[in-house]
Amino acid sequence: MISSLGQMELAVENKPRDWSFLFAHISAAIASLIAGFSVILTSLAMDTMQPVEATFIRYFFAFVCVVPFCVFYRTKIFSISRRDFLAISALGILFYFIFPMTFNKGLQLTTASRGALIMSLIPTLALLFGALFKVEKLNVFKALGCLMAIAGVTIGVSSGLATTVPSSSIVMGDLFMLVAIFQAAIFSVFSRRYFQKYGAWLVSVVSIAIGFLVPSLFFVGISGINFVSNLSSSEVLYLLILGTIGVPIQFGLFAWSLSRLGPSRATMYIVLTPLSATFLAVAILNETVTSLFILGLLVVILAIFLANRKDE
């Protein structure tokens, strides 16, 4: 009996560690830090561009990046069932066209710091949607964390960031950001099954490609592309970085971590987005944050970690 127990303990000790979960946590953290940087670049681009135009150019660069992978994975792509392909396409249009367009409009009206703080509600919404559709189990800690996150964002966005932007525009921008994070939370919850079934990168490649192609056909048909010739070198540079680092790399890392960790734990790292974005907003955009904004941010951080605590 003792001998068998000793053998079991030795087997547990010698069991190889699954490093993929550690890498998934690191990937989620890196993706969230890149997202904070993307918020600043988007805010800079929105000073002179329209949301739809910026979305089109950014995701054109992203589309160019993923086309070689579409060719490489063509056999696997054709093996996706028609029903799943339609679902992945719909999620792609939602997350890679409608979401960034709404997000861009929000940052055109509100400040980068406020927009990034509102983004930190994504884990809370992912938990609520996950519980509603029975993808996640909602326990006491998660419920309390959701309430605290909402309270933290309320404190932060009502603190009156020192800015020259009219208050009415800020409120409208905040509303656009809220709509955007609803879209992101829906994607986080419903995309996981396809990431697990077909692979995170394959699904990301397909959804990015479809998310650009389908809406862009309508956009080009209605508005044309004459505006491209009026882009400045700085605008092209911003959108090039956003379309390469800020789409295939950022969302590819996030998608893979989401497939390994689940919606609640993967989106937990989004708390790094307002931290990095606020730091950069103060350093680059000369935004000023108040003590109440910092308090709200700290409450959100605590709420997200509390929501991801396991029951004893």
pLDDT digits (tens, 9 = 90+) for 108-136: 988 888 888 888 788 778 878 877 877 76
- Whole-Å CA distances, 70 to 2, 18, 102, 196: 56, 29, 27, 19
**Residue stretches of the chain with pLDDT short of 70:** 1-18, 136, 157-167, 264, 307-312
pTM of the model: 0.80
Angle ∠(232,49,40) on CA atoms, nearest 5: 90
Determine contact, residues 283/246, Cβ cutoff 8 Å: no
At 270 the pLDDT is: 79
Distance CA 28, CA 110 (A): 26
Q: Quick count: other Cβ atoms within 10 Å of Cβ 90?
A: 15
Q: What is the pLDDT of residue 12?
A: 41
| pLDDT tens digits along 14-56 | 444 567 778 888 898 899 889 889 989 998 898 888 898 899 9
- pLDDT for position 238: 93
Both tokens of 2, joined, read 């003792």
With H, G, I as helix, E, B as strand and everything else as coil, classify residue 262: coil
Instruction: State the Cα–Cα distance between residues 133 and 128, nearest whole angstrom.
Output: 9
Which residues, at least 6 apart from 249, have a Cβ–Cβ distance to it below 8 Å?
34
What pLDDT is attached to residue 5?
Answer: 44
At residue 158, the pLDDT reads 67
Q: Which residues pair with 288 in a beta bridge?
A: 162
Predicted confidence at residue 74, as pLDDT, reads: 93
129-135 contact pairs (CB < 8 A, 24+) = 129/185, 129/186, 129/188, 129/189, 129/263, 130/189, 130/263, 130/264, 133/189, 133/190, 135/189, 135/192, 135/263
The pLDDT assigned to 242 comes to: 94
Q: What is the pLDDT of residue 160?
A: 52
